[in-house]
Amino acid sequence: MHARKRCSIVGFALAILIALGTPGLTEAAGIRIGSKNFTEQLILGELYGQALEARGIKVERKLNMGGTLIAHQALISNEIDMYPEYTGTALVNVVKAEVMTDAQAVYQKVKQYYEQQFKVTWLNQAPMNNTYVLAVPPEMAAKFNLKTLSDLAKVSRQLKIGTGPEWRDRKDGIPGLRAVYGMEFAEHVQFAAPDLRYAALTNKQIDVVNAYATDGQIFQYKLALLDDDKKLWPPYHVAPVIRMQALAENPKAAEALNEVSALLDSATMSALNYRVIGSKEEPKDVARDFLKKKGILK
């Protein structure tokens, strides 16, 4: 009897030790979330983090880390488990592949590369596409019936464009617009900061600005975005990039993260960005309010 009892106790203790030491047999291991160092990334980090917490997953935040290469290095060196990345950014800066313009092809290319090289995978990409765009005031779009960059090219010689200084020489800037669309402007005005460009546009000092499709100012000023109908620019859809081991240890994570991504189109992200840069709200509060309205948080 005593021997059997001792065996039972030892077996029970061993089972506990195995459970404690085996990921997935106890509660989820938790996820360390990083982000780059700009407004949209801080919001995305909070959106994903709070959604995970709503599923009972422990989250450690390491947001506002720095640029792409800093965040990427932290991921592959196991300092973080995930961060939001853009397909076009990964294609150019990590995979170092030729520019591609088909969104699904770019996604599959970076996903396969990350899985093979880093044991990191890409979850579902969001509808939002933070790519380069040209934007005009709605009244100008109506005046010239502007919907695409090809439409703009027909009247560009009458218009002034405002961009950052780097656009003068970048092959995907003014030279690219000239080569792909035959676009020439009456004047090219260069601005050191995006806010200065948008201010000049609203003051009618310029007619067109270069922008990112999810800039908060697009929502603020209700600007019209012109479709890149000849595909000068690659897609920049956002998705969680996450260590495959972290996914295995947190089986509820993928569904939670994909649920958030599915809600994010470019107009939605622009509005969320504006709440931080324009209304001066905190990213965590903007994220919480959005997730509550979508029923992800109670």
| Domain tally, the chain | 2
**123 and 239 share a domain?**
yes
CATH code at position 189:
3.40.190.120
Q: Is residue 19 part of a domain?
A: no
Q: What is the pLDDT of residues 172-224, one digit of tens each?
A: 999 999 999 999 999 999 999 999 999 999 999 999 999 999 999 999 999 99
Confidence of residue 23 (pLDDT cuts 50, 70, 90): very low
CA-atom Rg of the chain in angstroms:
23
Phi, psi of 127 (to 5 degrees): -60, -30
Helix (H) or strand (E) holding 14: helix 2-21
Pairwise CA distance, residues 223 & 217, whole Å = 8
Coil vs helix vs strand at 124: coil
Q: Is residue 102 part of a domain?
A: yes
In the numeric block, which tokens belong to residue 219? Answer: 């929502």
| N-terminal to C-terminal alpha carbon distance within the chain | 53
Helix (H) or strand (E) holding 187: strand 187-190
DSSP string of 114-138? HHHHHSEEE-PPPS-B--EEEEE-H
Q: Is residue 4 part of a domain?
A: no
Q: What is the pTM of this model?
A: 0.89
Q: What is the pLDDT of residues 78-99, one digit of tens each?
A: 999 999 999 999 999 999 999 9
- Output the pLDDT for position 29: 84
**141 and 111 share a domain?**
no
Sign of CA dihedral 229, 231, 232, 237: positive
Among residues 175, 149, 143, 134, which one has the least CA distance to residue 230? 149
The average pLDDT across 160-169 equals 96
Residue at a domain's end among 167, 195, 226? 226
Q: Is residue 203 part of a domain?
A: yes
**90 and 206 share a domain?**
no
Q: Give the torsion through C-alpha atoms of 73, 78, 83, 89, to 10 deg.
A: 30
Domain span including residue 209? 132-226
Among residues 195, 132, 139, which one has the least CA distance to residue 167? 132
- Residues in the chain, how many? 298
Residue at a domain's end among 226, 243, 278? 226
